[in-house]
């Protein structure tokens, strides 16, 4: 290892020092590489394994690596959905002493996939819809904390399954900036325009390769992202006025925001001088209403839609066993008697197929299908046996997704079917 190697990191895994930093990233030996699919990138990117974490290594300039490292740290502190920074490696040189590019190291987001790895052969209309909806929510969330992305695209995003939908995470922050005073409308509109252009281009690229089903229109998909973004932004930020006799609309507004996954920190309510109308302006905290409730009750950390689905099952369990029982007691019983037995029943060799919360969601979905076919409710134990045998065993591992070299990815993943409300399952 060169004497001049400089590492910037909050914590250093000793195994980080053993990676072949004297060798250009494009020439790293296969022994140092973990084969995972990646999105399109202007930089050389490789995945490698540390003690307990898979990392992504990207070659860039020292200035850009440090800048993106700092931005990712700021986004993490603001609880924006993004990959976790690990280190900046600078002062690299080969065996002859010739300088090599600096490297930014981030943690691979477990169970996440680039958009090209989310379908088998062709992009279906429903998959395109769910992808842009997830990206629209991500864009709203980073805009709310004052982050101007600068290069919004599907390629710069990672996706995780979330109970039939997707959750999106920012993976490339090098073109962004954070503004403490928040973004202007012009800055937001610039990001929206970039997103629309990039997404249309990415879908057209898939179309040119014959990987888009009939019915997917690139411009319509891009326009949908804009429409979804505007709807979300309006619901989260716009003031609302109504008559004093319509005070119920305050509760309705709160419930609508909760349904979108957001909590209310505080709400400003003003009446006009005549006392005949009320104006409300909610102060909305970041997304994760259902995630936070599930974490508080059970200690489970899940995506937002997964959390909503699990909470529906928990609430159904509580109402079925004892409606007046303390919520915390019922949550503990549900965790130990319902959720954990399902997770423990998954054979060890299949546990990297999907994360536990997604498995539980899919078991409920499978139960719905079996019950529809039989015309009667199917016991959970029977459902679980059928799901493991007929569904889970035939999926690729989403924790590790081993496959071709990252720059020549040809195999991709399929999507799940449409989600349904838990009330349809019982």
| Domain annotation for the chain: domains and CATH numbers | 6-108 (3.30.200), 113-237 (1.10.510.10), 240-287 (no CATH), 312-424 (no CATH)
What CA–CA distance (Å, rounded) separates 366 from 188? 41
Token pair in block for residue 101:
């590019």
Give the angle subtended at the CA of 361 by the CAs of 358 and 366, to the nearest 5°. Answer: 120
Is 198 in contact with 152 (CB distance < 8 Å)? yes
Per-residue pLDDT, 404 = 35
Per-residue pLDDT, 354 = 85
What CA–CA distance (Å, rounded) separates 36 from 199? 23
Low-confidence ranges of the chain (pLDDT < 70): 1-3, 37-41, 119-123, 265-266, 275-278, 280-287, 322-325, 396-426
Per-residue pLDDT, 294 = 87
Per-residue pLDDT, 283 = 66
Per-residue pLDDT, 425 = 29
Please state at what angle helix 304-321 crosses helix 327-334, rounded to 10 degrees: 110
What CA–CA distance (Å, rounded) separates 146 from 18? 38
Main-chain dihedrals φ then ψ at residue 358, nearest 5 degrees: -70, -35
Per-residue pLDDT, 265 = 65
Taking all residues of the chain, what is their mean pLDDT, rounded to a whole number? 82
């Amino acid at each position: 290892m060169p004497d001049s190697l400089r590492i910037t990191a909050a914590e250093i895994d000793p195994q980080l020092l053993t990676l072949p930093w004297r060798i250009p990233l494009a020439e790293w030996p296969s022994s140092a590489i973990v084969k995972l699919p990646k999105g399109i990138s202007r930089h050389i990117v490789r995945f490698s394994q540390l003690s307990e974490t898979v990392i992504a290594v990207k070659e860039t300039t020292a200035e850009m690596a440090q800048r993106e490292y700092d931005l990712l740290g700021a986004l993490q502190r603001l609880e924006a959905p993004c990959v976790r920074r690990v280190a900046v490696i600078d002062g690299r040189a080969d065996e002859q002493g010739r300088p090599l590019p600096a490297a930014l190291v981030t943690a691979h987001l477990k169970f996440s996939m680039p958009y090209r790895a989310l379908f088998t052969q062709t992009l279906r209309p429903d998959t395109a819809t769910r992808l842009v909806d997830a990206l629209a929510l991500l864009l709203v969330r980073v805009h709310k904390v004052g982050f101007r992305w600068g290069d919004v695209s599907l390629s710069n995003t990672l996706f995780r399954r979330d109970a039939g939908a997707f959750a999106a995470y920012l993976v490339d922050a090098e073109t962004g900036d954070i503004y403490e005073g928040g973004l202007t409308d012009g800055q937001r509109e610039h990001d929206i325009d970039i997103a629309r252009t990039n997404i249309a281009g990415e879908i057209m690229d898939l179309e040119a390769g014959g990987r888009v089903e009939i019915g997917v229109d690139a411009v319509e998909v891009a326009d949908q992202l804009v429409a979804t973004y505007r709807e979300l932004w309006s619901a989260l930020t716009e003031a609302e006025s109504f008559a004093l006799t319509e005070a119920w609309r305050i509760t309705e507004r709160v419930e609508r925001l909760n349904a979108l996954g957001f909590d209310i920190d505080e709400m400003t309510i003003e009446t006009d001088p005549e006392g005949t109308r009320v104006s409300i302006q909610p102060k909305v905290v970041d997304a994760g209403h259902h995630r936070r409730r599930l974490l508080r009750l059970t200690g489970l950390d899940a995506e937002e839609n997964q959390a909503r689905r699990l909470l529906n099952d928990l609430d159904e369990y509580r109402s079925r066993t004892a409606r007046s029982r303390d919520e915390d007691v019922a949550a503990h019983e549900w965790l130990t008697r319902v959720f954990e037995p399902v997770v423990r029943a998954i054979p060890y060799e299949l546990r990297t197929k999907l994360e536990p919360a997604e498995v539980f969601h899919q078991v409920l979905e499978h139960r719905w299908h079996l019950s529809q076919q039989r015309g009667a409710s199917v016991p959970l134990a029977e459902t679980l046996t059928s799901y493991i045998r007929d569904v889970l065993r035939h999926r690729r591992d989403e924790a590790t997704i081993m496959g071709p070299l990252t720059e020549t990815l040809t195999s991709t993943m399929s999507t799940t079917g449409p989600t349904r409300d838990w009330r349809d399952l019982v």
